[in-house]
């Protein structure tokens, strides 16, 4: 699947920065099938099948505090957890700007 490196980097970034439930989300990601949908401004990674049984401590929530930078381009990411399971990861640019083909995106915490 295209974007494997970027998705792995996002999950590992969450673990290294001690995001809540990040180890469980990694296990869910590793034991799931996903479908990737891309357009010019970003991507959506949708859960197709989860083969494990671990769930997060919260049922439904979103993580939207991870940003990215590629050259001078700002990128946003949102991770959706539904019923305690990693359901979707979205990557997007702001406006009508093309999402980079490269997965070498510098990740950082966004302060809301």
* Res. 111 pLDDT band, cuts 50 70 90: confident
* Res. 1 pLDDT band, cuts 50 70 90: low
Summarize pLDDT for 8-32 with one digit per residue, the tens.
999 999 999 999 999 999 999 999 9
**Rounded-to-integer distance, Cα 8 and Cα 14, Å:** 10
Q: CA 49 → CA 26, 69, 80, 87, distances in Å?
A: 15, 31, 15, 9
Please check the confidence at residue 2 and state whether its pLDDT lies above 80: no
Return phi, psi of residue 81, to 5°.
Answer: -115, 125
Q: Where are the domains of the chain?
A: 4-109
Edge-to-edge strand list for the sheet holding 73-82: 32-39, 42-50, 85-93, 73-82, 61-70, 106-109
Please check the confidence at residue 42 and state whether its pLDDT lies above 60: yes
**pLDDT, mean over the chain:** 93
- The pTM score is 0.92
């Amino acid at each position: 699947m295209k974007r494997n490196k970027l998705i792995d980097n996002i999950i590992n970034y969450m673990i290294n920065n001690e995001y809540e439930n990040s180890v469980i989300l990694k296990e869910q990601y590793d034991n799931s099938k996903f479908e990737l949908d891309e357009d010019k401004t970003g991507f959506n990674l949708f859960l197709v099948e989860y083969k494990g049984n671990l769930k997060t401590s919260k049922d439904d929530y979103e993580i939207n505090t991870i940003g990215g930078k590629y050259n001078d381009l700002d990128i946003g990411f949102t991770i959706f957890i539904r019923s305690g399971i990693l359901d979707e990861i979205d990557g997007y640019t702001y406006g009508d700007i093309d999402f980079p083909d490269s997965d070498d995106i510098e990740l950082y915490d966004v302060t809301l």
